[in-house]
């Protein structure tokens, strides 16, 4: 083998070795990044687990409060009628409701959701007071959607489109 051939072979082997090092380092850094992400995910999961154990008594108290206070789902007609009547009669002067339609009942393993979609009109302060009055935590009522728009004739009168829901404990099987 001639000297030029040896040098050419050496350069070719060096380039092949360099290519193999580049490919292997790329694979190494990709795996290192994946392992780093997995490590971070496991650390976060461990922190969540520790936090859940630390807050266990608080969550047990909350669960017990729910069992004791959440209204039971009896029958669909009675429940939907109750929320419909509650939305129909605002109880706050200066607020009127109209366009009431029932929202389909949503049944989950943890709660049953019954609701009504409605439009209310009145001054902003009165509408907000009414919404505050009908949604205390103990009532298990929530406002799912709320859209406030000023009135076309009088900007002091606000039109509110509301989806009012109430959560019930699922019926016992």
Q: Provide the pLDDT for residue 173.
A: 60
List pLDDT tens digits, range 44-55.
Answer: 999 999 999 999
Each residue's pLDDT tens digit, 58-116: 999 998 998 898 888 887 777 777 777 777 777 777 888 888 888 888 888 888 898 99
Confidence of residue 32 (pLDDT cuts 50, 70, 90): very high
Using CA atoms of 27, 31, 34, 35 in order, give the dihedral in degrees to the nearest 10: -170
Q: Half-sphere exposure of 36 toward its Cβ, with a 13 Å CA cutoff?
A: 6
Top-level class of domain 73-168? alpha beta
The DSSP secondary-structure symbol of 52 reads H
Mean pLDDT for the stretch of residues 8-22: 91
Has residue 1 got a pLDDT over 90? no
Can you tell me whether residue 145 is helix, strand or coil?
strand
- Judged against a pLDDT cut of 90, whether residue 30 lies above it is answered with yes
Q: What is the pLDDT of residue 102?
A: 87
**Main-chain dihedrals φ then ψ at residue 95, nearest 5 degrees:** -120, 125
pLDDT of residue 77: 77
* Residue boundaries of the structural domains of the chain: 3-54, 73-168
Average pLDDT, rounded, for the chain: 89
Residue 17: helix, strand or coil by DSSP? helix
Classify residue 10 as exposed, middle or buried by CB count within 10 Å of its CB (0-12, 13-18, 19+): exposed
């Amino acid at each position: 083998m001639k000297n030029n051939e040896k040098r050419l072979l050496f350069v070719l082997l060096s380039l092949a070795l360099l290519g193999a090092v580049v490919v292997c380092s790329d694979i190494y850094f990709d795996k290192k990044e994946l392992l780093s992400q997995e490590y971070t995910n496991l650390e976060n999961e461990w922190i969540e687990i520790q936090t859940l154990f630390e807050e266990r008594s608080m969550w047990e108290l909350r669960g017990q409060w729910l069992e004791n206070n959440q209204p039971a789902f009896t029958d669909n007609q009675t429940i939907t009628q109750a929320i419909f009547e509650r939305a129909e009669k605002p109880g706050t002067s200066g607020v009127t409701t109209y366009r009431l339609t029932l929202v389909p009942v949503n049944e989950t393993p943890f709660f049953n959701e019954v609701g009504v979609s409605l439009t209310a009109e009145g001054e902003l302060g009165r509408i907000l007071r009414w919404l505050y009055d009908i949604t205390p935590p103990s009532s298990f009522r929530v406002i799912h959607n709320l859209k406030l728009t000023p009135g076309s004739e009088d900007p002091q009168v606000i039109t509110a489109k509301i989806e009012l829901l109430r959560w019930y404990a699922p019926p016992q099987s």
